[in-house]
Amino acid sequence: MMKRKLKVLSVIGTRPEAIKMAPLIRELSRRADRVESLVVSTAQHRQMLDQTLRVFGIVPDIDLDIMRPRQSLRQTTVDVLTGMEPVLRQHKPDVLLVQGDTTSAWASALAGFHQKTPVGHVEAGLRSFDLGNPYPEEMNRRLTDALASFHFAPTARARDNLLREGFSRGNIFVTGNTVVDALQLALRMPFEPRDGAIRKILDAPGRLLLVTAHRRENWGKPLAEICDALRKLVRQFPDLRVVCPVHLNPEVRQTVMPTLKRLDRIHLIQPVDYLTLAQLMKRAHLILTDSGGLQEEAPTFGKPVLVMRKCTERPEATDAGWASLVGTRANSILSETRRLLMDSSAYARMIPRSNPYGDGQAARRIVDILLR
Ligand code: UD1
């Protein structure tokens, strides 16, 4: 008798979810003999999500198309919850997969709970232990873990966080982070820069700083301080260039664009596709970021990271000495960046020797577990 296939519904809402779910969605379709895979995009992001989906050749089966200009957390939550309910009712998946800590992820997990659909949380167990940093992500990931039946923890540390909170050991699986799988996939694809400006940035001589900042808790003054630090850095180091792909969020753009536009050797560019981002990381001397994904990706390229936040839920690289928390004050960003630009042995000590977040096999492990 033919066994019924496992029906898996994967949710994607924002750019990082698309990157980190891509290897998993690919692996699910490779196992089409045993799995029926459906992909829902909430489209909490539109352009930035579509740009990533194109790279990985993912076409969602269902698109909730919820993004609005200057959307609020409340509105996004309500729209995801309202949109997911009929999808779950109609398709009745055996398992709902959500990724990470976005509003799309946690609100979908809640919709799954309402419909009694078991939820699998990819990238479970990350904790910064500070509900205000990152905001609202620390709460989102706690809520998602509370709603999930299966916890796919990327690292042993994430597993330990879950065990300490009383989650049952039998439902926690250490898999590695799928971001490493995604990066390995991306690096196997042919790369053609989408415009001449990118080629120029990649080919220009001198040291390149790759900078990204978008977090809600950094909007306003912290972001202005970050910009101030960048201005001072290019002034002090004549060989230095800064490339900054600016997030499409208007809250971010309204601070960054007027402050840094038209400054010599600071390149403000539109959000880049994942292959271009990988090339920028490879070319960069140093990475300054408040993003979670970049902290996890940088070790693959052997690049030190300065984390422009108060705390991190991804302490594996900081513990190894390959990343450092510099906060968002201009002075602390300046002094730590200067130190690494001037002291080559301090820089050399911060070069990662391996990637502590994963080995590129996370997607395969997760699908194996689901099929068991
Ligand atoms: C969201 C996630 C954050 C994640 C980040 C990755 C939440 C609460 N936040 O933050 O965890 O790190 O995505 O990028 O889930 N916009 C566009 N086009 C796009 C994307 C965004 O115009 O393709 C604009 C929209 O005007 C939107 C605004 O950006 O109102 C903010 O988007 P939103 O998803 O609410 O928050 P992010 O800051 O992107």
* Beta strand pairing call for 240-245 and 150-153: unpaired
State the average pLDDT over residues 180-191. Answer: 96
DSSP secondary structure code for residue 220 in this structure: T
In sequence order, the 6+-apart residues with CB closer than 8 A to the CB of 170 are none
Please report which confidence band the pLDDT of residue 197 belongs to, taking 50, 70 and 90 as the band edges: very high
Please report which confidence band the pLDDT of residue 66 belongs to, taking 50, 70 and 90 as the band edges: very high
State the average pLDDT over residues 138-146. Answer: 98
Enter the tokens of residue 42.
Answer: 């909430």
* pLDDT for res 152: 99
The response to whether residue 142 sits with its C-beta less than 6 Å from ligand 1 reads no
What integer best gives the mean pLDDT of the chain? 97
Do 324 and 287 touch, CB atoms closer than 8 A?
no
Tell which residue, 10, 15, 20, has the closest CA to residue 43: 15
State the average pLDDT over residues 199-205. Answer: 95
State the average pLDDT over residues 131-151. Answer: 98
Tell which residue, 182, 175, 138, has the closest CA to residue 155: 175
Please report which confidence band the pLDDT of residue 3 belongs to, taking 50, 70 and 90 as the band edges: confident
The response to whether residue 328 sits with its C-beta less than 6 Å from ligand 1 reads no
Which residue, by CA, sits nearest to atom 27 of ligand 1?
A: 70
State the average pLDDT over residues 258-286. Answer: 96
> Quick count: other Cβ atoms within 10 Å of Cβ 343?
11
Please report which confidence band the pLDDT of residue 263 belongs to, taking 50, 70 and 90 as the band edges: very high
Side-chain half-sphere exposure of 45, counting CA atoms within 13 A: 23
The response to whether residue 15 sits with its C-beta less than 6 Å from ligand 1 reads yes
State the average pLDDT over residues 240-257. Answer: 97
Can you point out the beta strands (E) in 119-232?
119-122, 150-153, 172-174, 207-212
- Point out the catalytic residue in the list 114, 216, 329, 338: 216
Please report which confidence band the pLDDT of residue 361 belongs to, taking 50, 70 and 90 as the band edges: very high
> Hunting for tokens 């140093």 — which residue is that?
286
Which of 21, 51, 66, 67 is the pocket-test mutation for ligand 1 (most atoms within 8 Å of CB)?
Answer: 67
Give 65-104 as a DSSP string.
----TT--HHHHHHHHHHHHHHHHHHH--SEEEEETTSHH
Tell which residue, 238, 243, 357, 257, has the closest CA to residue 297: 357
* 91 counts as catalytic: no
* 123 counts as catalytic: yes
* pLDDT for res 194: 72
Please report which confidence band the pLDDT of residue 106 belongs to, taking 50, 70 and 90 as the band edges: very high
The response to whether residue 134 sits with its C-beta less than 6 Å from ligand 1 reads no
Rounded Cα gap, residues 366 and 372, in angstroms: 10
Give the H/E segment covering residue 307: strand 305-307
* pLDDT for res 58: 97
Tell which residue, 309, 308, 305, has the closest CA to residue 356: 305
Asked whether the whole model's pTM tops 0.85, one would answer yes
* pLDDT for res 171: 98
- 209-244 pLDDT, tens digit per residue, is 999 999 999 999 999 999 999 999 999 999 999 999
At residue 1, does pLDDT exceed 70?
no
- 80 alpha carbon – ligand 1 mean position (Å): 14
- 305-358 pLDDT, tens digit per residue, is 999 999 999 999 999 999 999 999 999 999 999 999 999 999 999 999 999 999
At residue 2, does pLDDT exceed 70?
no
In sequence order, the 6+-apart residues with CB closer than 8 A to the CB of 262 are none
The response to whether residue 48 sits with its C-beta less than 6 Å from ligand 1 reads yes
* pLDDT for res 209: 98
Side-chain half-sphere exposure of 196, counting CA atoms within 13 A: 0
Please report which confidence band the pLDDT of residue 193 belongs to, taking 50, 70 and 90 as the band edges: confident
